[in-house]
Amino acid sequence: MTTETKLPFDNGFVSSFSKEMSEPAWFEEFRLKALNDFDQLPMPRPDKTKIDKWNFTQFNQHTVKSDVYASLAELPEEVKSLVDVDAEMKNLYIQRNQTPAFLSLSEDLKSKGVIFTDIFTAAREHGDLLKKYYMTQAINVDEHRLTALHTALVNGGVFLYVPKNVEITEPIQAVYVHDNAEANLFNHVIVVADDNSSVTYVENYISTMETSNALVNILTEVIANVNAKVQYGAVDTLARGITTYVNRRGVAGRDSRIEWALGLMNEGNTISENTTNLLGDGSFGDTKTVVVGRGEQTQNFTTKVVHFGKHTVGNILNHGVVKDSATSIFNGIGKIEHGASKSDAEQTSRVLMLSEKARGDANPILLIDEDDVVAGHAASVGRVDPVQLYYLMSRGIPKSEAERLVIHGFLAPVVTQLPIEGVKKQLTEVIERKVR
């Protein structure tokens, strides 16, 4: 059963915006169908988190106008620290609220056929290629209301395509700057690695204000075709008061690899889904996630690896820290479908609670529909290990510093995986600030 929700925007607005952005007809049709399907679809139901009172649909402005950055020297200092301003060769996209504000792609990668551009330019200039991957393999429009709402109202995002046999050794970076409290983000990110290619993509969501009542609805689709490799890093640091729904999903072809390193550090209520579908035989999926919750925020994180192909391997590692009155729920799901013989599904979820009122929950789930497989899980929720604290304090380290070191060590598996030094440093500083 669904209940009707009155949206602030209608078909006329959506059609007008699509034409203003010079989108191809198929893109506009996608939007309108999604908007018309919205009321018939249910809301998502994250396990152990009630979201019926959360605001995902009511807001005043679909887009805000922002100035572009003529050069990286104009970036706010907190954004400058994420990028190598002095590097001669940059593969970098910066979006300011909904405005594509800076783009740089090396001539070498352009000559090899690499496409890296904002989602609207991709729709206009690479429409046939975008259409092949846009919500056709990873995420479906009609999964629930939030996927339909996103599709109808997409107002930002990026398209990265790596052609067959192209191996990119330097990271590709996208930074989404949220510096207007009225800006609501409906970003769509697509990363495609064609056969025998490889790429590392790193993105940052960063708010430059402390509080905002904005809505954020992000969909990411990662496609790794035959024998391709995608390393995907993300650090999300959106402001207090922002309600966020983020769904990052990958599809792995035969002998391909998708590796996620996610630092989820938003200050507001957040629903995060991260799924890797191992379709091809011999494919590999690995997800490492770190989270710090504080204040009164509620967060729900579902990490899922689904094995369809034979000889597939899926690993999940979730580490979370919760303090004050915050609540963080971790759902780890390893699913092996019938026919996915010789597959291996492993997961570990661990939560540290730093306050009496903090609530952490780790829910490991294994769903096995095949006999000849390996699967395992581990989960723990508790306080900082007193043995570790005692060891450090016995070496003359004060208790507060010892606790800080234990927490950093606990979250290190993801921090060390991020390939851009500025992003790694930012995540370390955010963790330091949030657990202080």
State how far the Cα of 136 lies from the Cα of 389, in Å rounded to an integer.
50
| pLDDT at position 1 | 43
Judge whether 157 and 150 are in contact, CB under 8 Å: no
Judge whether 205 and 267 are in contact, CB under 8 Å: no
DSSP strands (E only) in 163-225: 172-178, 187-193, 198-207, 215-224
Q: How far is CA 33 from its chain centroid? A: 25
Span 23-41, pLDDT tens digits: 999 999 999 999 999 999 9
State how far the Cα of 301 lies from the Cα of 291, in Å rounded to an integer.
9
Helix spans in 329-415 (H): 386-394, 399-415
Span 80-108, pLDDT tens digits: 999 988 776 689 999 999 999 999 999 99
Is the pTM higher than 0.85? The answer reads: yes
- Helix 399-415 and helix 421-435, axial crossing angle in degrees, nearest 10: 140
Q: How far is CA 248 from its chain centroid? A: 5
Q: Taking the CA of residue 12 as centre, how many other CA atoms within 13 Å lie in the half-sphere pointing to its CB?
A: 1
Judge whether 381 and 360 are in contact, CB under 8 Å: yes
Q: Which two tokens stand for residue 183?
A: 């800006």
CA quadruple 68, 71, 75, 79: dihedral positive or negative?
Answer: positive
State how far the Cα of 47 lies from the Cα of 365, in Å rounded to an integer.
12
Span 139-175, pLDDT tens digits: 999 999 999 999 999 999 999 999 999 999 999 999 9
State how far the Cα of 275 lies from the Cα of 148, in Å rounded to an integer.
18
- Residue positions counted in the chain: 436
**What distances in angstroms separate CA 336 from CA 18, 254, 304, 332, 367, one per listed residue?**
40, 16, 11, 13, 6
State how far the Cα of 213 lies from the Cα of 210, in Å rounded to an integer.
11
| pLDDT at position 89 | 66
State how far the Cα of 421 lies from the Cα of 415, in Å rounded to an integer.
10
- Provide the 3-class DSSP secondary structure of residue 23: coil
Tens digits of pLDDT across the chain (436 residues): 455 577 889 999 999 999 999 999 999 999 999 999 999 999 999 999 999 999 999 999 999 999 999 999 999 999 999 998 877 668 999 999 999 999 999 999 999 999 999 999 999 999 999 999 999 999 999 999 999 999 999 999 999 999 999 999 999 999 999 999 999 999 999 999 999 999 999 999 999 999 999 999 999 999 999 999 999 999 999 999 999 999 999 999 999 999 999 999 999 999 999 999 999 999 999 999 999 999 999 999 999 999 999 999 999 999 999 999 999 999 999 999 999 999 999 999 999 999 999 999 999 999 999 999 999 999 999 998 889 889 999 999 998 888 889 888 889 988 888 888 888 999 999 998 998 8
Q: Which two tokens stand for residue 224?
A: 């790794």
Q: How far is CA 119 from its chain centroid? A: 17
| pLDDT at position 418 | 87
State how far the Cα of 129 lies from the Cα of 131, in Å rounded to an integer.
5
Q: Which two tokens stand for residue 282?
A: 């011999």
